[in-house]
Amino acid sequence: MSDSRNNLPEIPATFAEMDLSDEILRAIEDMGFTVPSTVQAKTIPLMMSGADINAIAPTGTGKTCAFGIPMLEYVQLKDHRVQEIVLAPTRELALQIGDELTKLAKYIKGVRIAVLYGGQPISKQISALKRQPQVIVATPGRLLDHMNRGNIHLDAVHTMVLDEADEMLNMGFVKDVTRIIEATPSDRQLVLFSATTNQDVLTIAWKFQHEPMEITVEATKEDRPQIAQYVIATERDKKIDHLLYLLDADVYQRMMIFCNTKFMTDKLTSRLKKEGYSAECIHGDVKQSQRNVVMNDFRRGKFPILIATDVAARGIDVDDVEAVINFDLPSENEYYLHRIGRTGRAHKHGVSFSLVTFQESVRMDEILKYMIARPLPLHFEEDVLRNEDGTPFFENI
């Protein structure tokens, strides 16, 4: 292991150069991937060499396969204990990772993947655990619950991945995550993926990683989402009208609208339904089974408008969201980045609209400063249009 650290593996240009099994290569081909993304090219060989890794990469760069491929390559099929764990901050993200791993594992006979998250009956998950999965994808709270009930043992864990580590730790999972890591062998491989680094991530890294390798991926020109960001100056009681105006332009087949509260999300959904639009919502109080139905239907294009809170939408990968609308401005700058990152994925162009009241224009300025300071992604096609007095305005959609 130490050898490979002194001798960094070359960064491969193709999947074929990566020493992957035929089963994985066939699955990658079925998924339609021809070349590895930058984060995949950097992470896969390093992770397969056994190194602990701290990777910082923007959303939409293909992180799931970056850790998913090495995890599946490692699994010892005859060993029926849990060997590989991914922790994710939300149920939706856990499910999405589970789906991606299942696709990657299509030709590997005998690999079992279980997804554990709050909101699903625990009994169903107990039966999944009885099938002795080698790979677990979980949200921290539910995994801990299973550990406390003695349903799962982590003493044979080889690799542990924290996906969206920054967000997970921000959401108050520090204690849970720490307890879970402490239940794994101290020589397990620990791999952290974040969009940005923060103190909690550094602390976990410092406490639990051994000579970690750092990987930083900046969005390259090709990877860079092309997102035109618009600000629409409005008033509180005119927001709906502006929104309807946007929707009536009928330009976008698939849109996400973000609100800050569950209440507003519900209220806006009923209003749009009443106006005859086909819209559904997800937030923390919507039952998990219902959230899954809504997400699947949205992915399949069964309805065009998904209304969501930040937490419920975190990390969700839906191809072809053409427009993101901020009905409310997010209270966290980073959320803005994550929200508009729902569009412009996979090298497509995207557009975002923020409905901003005069009171919110101060927040909008803060967000813009934050965005300009990002080493990231953004392409300000139209930049933000402003009135002479500096307040944002919008015209001519």
**Measured from the CB of residue 93, what is the shortest distance to Mg ion in angstroms?**
7
Question: What is the number of the residue whose Cβ is closest to Mg ion?
Answer: 63
CA atoms within 13 A on the CB side of 147: 20
Q: Does 38 bind ligand ADP (CB under 6 A)?
A: no
Q: Does 346 bind ligand ADP (CB under 6 A)?
A: yes
Partner from Mg ion, ligand ADP, none binding residue 83, C-beta < 5-8 Å depending on class: none
Q: Does 194 bind ligand ADP (CB under 6 A)?
A: no
Judged by beta carbon, residue 63 or residue 142, the one nearer Mg ion is 63
Judged by beta carbon, residue 63 or residue 242, the one nearer Mg ion is 63
**Measured from the CB of residue 52, what is the shortest distance to ligand ADP in angstroms?**
19
Return d(Cα 325, Cα 215) in angstroms, integer.
32
Angle between helix 174-182 and 199-208 (nearest 10): 10
**Measured from the CB of residue 67, what is the shortest distance to ligand ADP in angstroms?**
9
Q: Does 64 bind ligand ADP (CB under 6 A)?
A: yes
Choose the stretch contacting ligand ADP; rule: CB under 6 A; options: 62-70, 145-153, 254-262, 271-279.
62-70
Q: Does 309 bind ligand ADP (CB under 6 A)?
A: no
User: Judged by CB under 6 A, which of 62, 89, 225, 350 binds ligand ADP?
Assistant: 62
Choose the stretch contacting ligand ADP; rule: CB under 6 A; options: 31-39, 82-90, 285-293, 376-384.
31-39
Q: Does 59 bind ligand ADP (CB under 6 A)?
A: yes
With beta carbons less than 8 A apart as the criterion, state whether 103 and 29 touch. Answer: no
**Measured from the CB of residue 337, what is the shortest distance to ligand ADP in angstroms?**
12
Return d(Cα 232, Cα 397) in angstroms, integer.
10
Measure Cα distances from 296 to 8, 280, 289, 290 in Å: 41, 12, 11, 10
Partner from Mg ion, ligand ADP, none binding residue 134, C-beta < 5-8 Å depending on class: none
Choose the stretch contacting ligand ADP; rule: CB under 6 A; options: 32-40, 127-135, 139-147, 330-338.
32-40
Partner from Mg ion, ligand ADP, none binding residue 33, C-beta < 5-8 Å depending on class: ligand ADP
Partner from Mg ion, ligand ADP, none binding residue 225, C-beta < 5-8 Å depending on class: none
Q: Does 36 bind ligand ADP (CB under 6 A)?
A: yes
Partner from Mg ion, ligand ADP, none binding residue 362, C-beta < 5-8 Å depending on class: none
**Measured from the CB of residue 147, what is the shortest distance to ligand ADP in angstroms?**
26
Partner from ligand ADP, Mg ion, none binding residue 184, C-beta < 5-8 Å depending on class: none
Q: Does 92 bind ligand ADP (CB under 6 A)?
A: no
Q: Does 125 bind ligand ADP (CB under 6 A)?
A: no
Q: Does 61 bind ligand ADP (CB under 6 A)?
A: yes
Q: Does 37 bind ligand ADP (CB under 6 A)?
A: yes
Chain residues in the site for Mg ion (CB under 5 A): 63
Residues that bind ligand ADP (CB under 6 A): 33, 36-37, 40, 57, 59-65, 317, 319, 346
